[in-house]
Structure 1
Amino acid sequence: MRDEPGGVDSAGYRLISDIKAEEGGKVVTVTFAAPYPGWRSLFSALLPAHLLKDAPGGWDQVLETGFPATAGPFSIKQLDIPRGEIVLERNERYWEQPAVADRVILRRADQAGLVDALRTGHDQLVVARTDEAGVAMLQTLGAKVTVKAAPRPTVLNLVFRQTGPDLQDERVRTALTHILDRDAIIKAGTGGGPSVRADALVLAPSQAGYASTGPQAHDPAAAQQLLTQAGYALTSGVWTQEGRPLSITIGAPADKEPYVIVAKEVQKQLVAAGVQVKLVTPTADQLLRPATAAEAGPNILVAPRPVGDNPAAVLASMYGCPARSNDSSVVPPGNIAGFCDPSMQPVIDAALTGSMSLSDAIANLEPRLWRQSVAVPLFQLADSVAARSELATGELTAPLNAPFASAVTWRRNPN
């Protein structure tokens, strides 16, 4: 969690200076190197070590093909990946509020299948990433079905790495952001579904205090002016500098939607504007590896920004400089953009440790981050949640873990 690229809240974990187990492991004392008001967010999803220690591929691969879980209100009775079905049963050994339902069955289906299952009453609850057509189909089910949007804990970002001979120039990065038509990219990525446009670099639309901070807009004329200032000329429809074409690589995680769809739309727009673009789709862990002298990797990443309980940690993890190390052989982890502005670091540290309010830090930093074109937020992913009236539920759109936060109270009433 401290060192792997793209780790959620990695800046918070890096503040941990010592961990001690006492009383046979029943008490764990964690010491931080500096005050950290958001410390609780680091321990909200603990799992016993024995579930992870023998996982194939080790800790960093444990969630690739398995679902380690323990001590919850439900136990996994059956996991059938080929059929797309998971059977959960009430965990009689759970010490907190017991689940009302004896069994919850999760099934995979396409949009049409989900709507039909709701219409017939075969299923009582649907959670799905839907496009405009899927939302319309759900809304035809009438008053017996309630349809809501449930934000996911993820904002889809374009991350600009300052690598290669071109993107090291702030003018070039800013020109690329002006070339891009964000509205068209968002439409392609969401398909007209419930996902919400994002216009801030730290907070997500679903979070308290969110406000649009993004000044950038689709402006091809400004893009041409900036590229000309940076020494490029438009020759035969291609931007070149001393005979070398402006060339970038876009990376998106393989088989992950809507990331690849977004990457293809970005590629199409940039190519149409005279930029040579290569699209690569490695696995997510390969995509987020830091650039090295031997392997620069993609210049632009289509990557997630986490939406967590502690936005100050997101700020520090996404935009902070690497931690200092006294060991010259150790390469300290950085953010996935490889970005570091030492003049910003005192403000980032102050927000992380609580000596400056997050709102003041955002007001100070976001205009500077926008000017340097570090990242361009696109939209916060969201699912459609639809429930039949005979299913009594709690809040189905709770942040971070919707709709299952209220699963212990689910009750199916008689028709």
Structure 2
Amino acid sequence: MIPRTKAFGTRFAISCMAVGLLLSGCSDDRGVQQASSAIGATNDINPKDRDEIRDGGNLRLALTAFPATFNALHVDADGDVSEVVGWTMPGTITADAAGELTVDHNYFTDVQLTNTSPQQVTYTINPKAVWSDGSPITWEDLRSQAEALSGRDNDFQVAATQGYSRVDKVERGGDDRQAVVTFGKHYAEWQGLFNPLYPKASTQSPSAFDTVDRAGLPVSSGPFVITSIDRAQQRIVLSRNPKWWGDPPKLDTVTYSVLDYSARLNALQNNELDAVSVSGIDEVKTATNSPGITVRRSSAPRFSHFTFNGAPGSILADPKLRIAISKAIDRQGIATATQNGIVQNPKPLNNHIYLEGQKGYQDNAESVAYDPDEAARMLDELGWKLNGDVREKDGRKLQIRDAMYQQDSWVQMAQIAQQNLAQVGVELVVQTYPGNGLFTDVIDPGNFDIAQFTWSKSIFPLGALPQIYAYDPANPLSNKGRIGTPELNALIEEIISELDPAKAIDLANKADRMIFQEGFSLPIVQSAGTEAVRTGLANYGAFGLASADYTKIGFVK
């Protein structure tokens, strides 16, 4: 499953899509409803009141890979980690389908911007809020996490420093249940901090940050806690938290199993899973026509993309070559092939920061517009000359390795790009991998020329900038391609310091144009957000921008 988490910072995840996958077991032929690809103000989760949901039950979900760590703040974490942790960890806010924010009163009675010079935010913790070992959640947990994620100590292997790098200090407020956070520099998206919040035992030292939650969550806080981890069976079970103080969860347990994508829809049809992400007209049609299954639709805050490896020594180290490769790839062709019949008017995503339908979205992709003739001219100019079917330069073939999760949809995207690139004399070699180890063994070490995966975005779009698009060779964070410039770094610094939302949008789109012009990565399509779920499952499905209420998810009476 794609993350449904309180972690509003951008997280990457292996895409859970499939194209051209037709499974058996259909009944009556119900028509597929097309939906808008734009993020909107509604979602589709079969909303029900608590008294309409039966007590008990086990929700069965799938993971792409077994989590490398359960520390969602760690560089080794991915979307599967966030998916699991969302049920078990505190955060400061929740969002509705339109992305409007409210304080999560389960954990905080108040979160207020209390000063702007210097910027200060006061967090008042719910006096009932405790960790699963019974100890109170206190200001020291916030201080420890802010220090660990500040980026000032590179021994902390963090996924991102966004916001925390600008925190000057965290102090005790009126009592241990209040934290006053003072920023050394303004931070525009301050509401996204501490989502999720980990206990200080997990963040107090680089060693603790790396090891305490590596194999599980010894201490957590939420309506559910992890009660069973079976690595041999690739299964994780969550159960009700006996220390939970809020509304009691309706479900008894949630079970996650690592399952190959090609087996998921069959597992749903065979009553072995309760929800899976679906994509591609054949798979959506199959799910639509399966008894007891409903396809829910709401454009999801995530997008597929091709990331280029621009590290020194890589074949794509030259940004002009990356632009030429980009201009040879027909993104509209990929959008049509993967989303036709599912969304109205499929089209590529032309922004790295904002999603279509989100305030601030505009088309900044002029520099990578599909133009194979121009791509061929640029390749000639760069010295890559045709020798038979494949170009060469200084005795080196223009052969590019494209790494991705072993899934039909990714392969289909790659094959379209492969055909496009062959027309201009570029050989694209498709390399597929299982979910386990894809990031830790392939993408993070830079063992690719192009990597295909999905970025999960959020209601805090600017948070992605320092995490993904800024570049510090000593601390690359989630900049998988090792691409960046001092000018872009400086502009990102300006953007995240801007407290005027309109000015921040203008600056962010300026940065996005620079990201395209650098040949950083190539956005492909925004997710249609189609989720096949058991018909009787309530308060779960296509969430859009909304947070999940884990206490209300369950099965109707």
Q: What residue number does 1:412 align with?
A: 555
Tell me, yes or no, if the aligned pair for 2:186 and 2:498 is still in contact at 8 Å.
Answer: yes
For residue 221 of structure 1, the aligned residue among 360, 373, 391 is 373
- Structure 2 residue identity aligned to 1:223: A
Helix, strand or coil for the counterpart of 1:70?
coil
Q: What residue number does 1:175 align with?
A: 324
Which consecutive residues of structure 2, in runs of 5 or more, have no partner in the other structure? 1-148
Tell me, yes or no, if the aligned pair for 1:89 and 1:104 is still in contact at 8 Å.
Answer: yes
Structure 2 residue 259 is the aligned partner of structure 1 residue 110: no
Shifted more, 371-380 versus 103-112: the winner is: 103-112
Aligned equivalents of 2:470, 2:166: Cα separation in 1: 13
Map residues 379-394 of structure 1 onto 2, 5 A cutoff.
379-381=525-527, 384-391=530-537, 393-394=538-539
Shift in Å, 1:272:
5.4
CA change 1:58–1:382 in 2 (3 A) is farther
Structure 2 residue 458 is the aligned partner of structure 1 residue 308: yes
Aligned equivalents of 2:396, 2:403: Cα separation in 1: 23
- Structure 1 residue identity aligned to 2:491: V
Helix, strand or coil for the counterpart of 1:350?
helix
Shifted more, 371-380 versus 107-116: the winner is: 107-116
The size of the alignment, in residue pairs, is 391
Q: What residue number does 2:243 align with?
A: 93
Shift in Å, 1:100:
2.9
Aligned equivalents of 2:309, 2:238: Cα separation in 1: 43
Aligned equivalents of 2:177, 2:238: Cα separation in 1: 28
For residue 354 of structure 1, the aligned residue among 476, 490, 498 is 498
Structure 2 residue 524 is the aligned partner of structure 1 residue 378: yes
Aligned equivalents of 1:221, 1:397: Cα separation in 2: 41
CA change 1:90–1:188 in 2 (3 A) is same
Structure 2 residue 481 is the aligned partner of structure 1 residue 343: no
Aligned equivalents of 1:168, 1:133: Cα separation in 2: 38
Tell me, yes or no, if the aligned pair for 1:200 and 1:213 is still in contact at 8 Å.
Answer: yes
Structure 2 residue 439 is the aligned partner of structure 1 residue 284: yes
Structure 2 residue 296 is the aligned partner of structure 1 residue 148: yes
Structure 2 residue 543 is the aligned partner of structure 1 residue 398: yes
Tell me, yes or no, if the aligned pair for 1:253 and 1:284 is still in contact at 8 Å.
Answer: no
Shifted more, 149-158 versus 187-196: the winner is: 187-196
- Structure 2 residue identity aligned to 1:396: G
Shift in Å, 1:94:
0.9
Aligned equivalents of 2:370, 2:326: Cα separation in 1: 7
Tell me, yes or no, if the aligned pair for 1:251 and 1:300 is still in contact at 8 Å.
Answer: yes
Aligned equivalents of 2:338, 2:210: Cα separation in 1: 28
Cα-Cα RMSD: 4.3
Aligned equivalents of 1:9, 1:54: Cα separation in 2: 16
Tell me, yes or no, if the aligned pair for 2:301 and 2:457 is still in contact at 8 Å.
Answer: yes
Aligned equivalents of 1:310, 1:164: Cα separation in 2: 34
Offset from partner CA, 1:116-154 (integer Å, 9 cap, x none):
43xxxx87x423345433311221147x75421355554
CA change 1:288–1:28 in 2 (3 A) is farther
Map residues 65-84 of structure 1 onto 2, 5 A cutoff.
66=216, 70-80=220-230
CA change 1:313–1:106 in 2 (3 A) is closer
Shift in Å, 1:165:
7.7
Which consecutive residues of structure 1, in runs of 5 or more, have no partner in the other structure? 292-296, 324-330
Q: What residue number does 1:326 align with?
A: none
Helix, strand or coil for the counterpart of 1:75?
strand
TM-score (norm 2): 0.57
Shift in Å, 1:275:
2.3
Q: What residue number does 2:76 align with?
A: none
Tell me, yes or no, if the aligned pair for 2:376 and 2:424 is still in contact at 8 Å.
Answer: no
Tell me, yes or no, if the aligned pair for 1:396 and 1:406 is still in contact at 8 Å.
Answer: no
Shift in Å, 1:203:
1.6
CA change 1:390–1:164 in 2 (3 A) is closer
Shift in Å, 1:177:
1.0
Shift in Å, 1:110:
2.6
Tell me, yes or no, if the aligned pair for 1:161 and 1:338 is still in contact at 8 Å.
Answer: yes
Map residues 151-300 of structure 1 onto 2, 5 A cutoff.
154-162=302-310, 163-164=312-313, 167-185=316-334, 197-205=348-356, 207-215=358-366, 216-241=368-393, 243-250=394-401, 252=403, 262=413, 266-267=417-418, 269-271=420-422, 273-277=424-428, 283-289=438-444, 298-300=448-450
Q: What residue number does 2:193 align with?
A: 42
CA change 1:76–1:82 in 2 (3 A) is same
Tell me, yes or no, if the aligned pair for 2:402 and 2:428 is still in contact at 8 Å.
Answer: no
Tell me, yes or no, if the aligned pair for 2:315 and 2:449 is still in contact at 8 Å.
Answer: no
Offset from partner CA, 1:59-117 (integer Å, 9 cap, x none):
44777764667221123444455556554433342122222344455566631231243
State the identity as a percent. Answer: 21
Shifted more, 21-30 versus 69-78: the winner is: 21-30
Shift in Å, 1:360:
0.5
Q: What residue number does 2:5 align with?
A: none
Shift in Å, 1:372:
3.0
Offset from partner CA, 1:183-203 (integer Å, 9 cap, x none):
454577779878984221112
Query: Whose helix fraction is larger, Structure 1's or Structure 2's?
Result: 1
Structure 2 residue 290 is the aligned partner of structure 1 residue 138: no
Shift in Å, 1:307:
0.9
CA change 1:238–1:128 in 2 (3 A) is closer
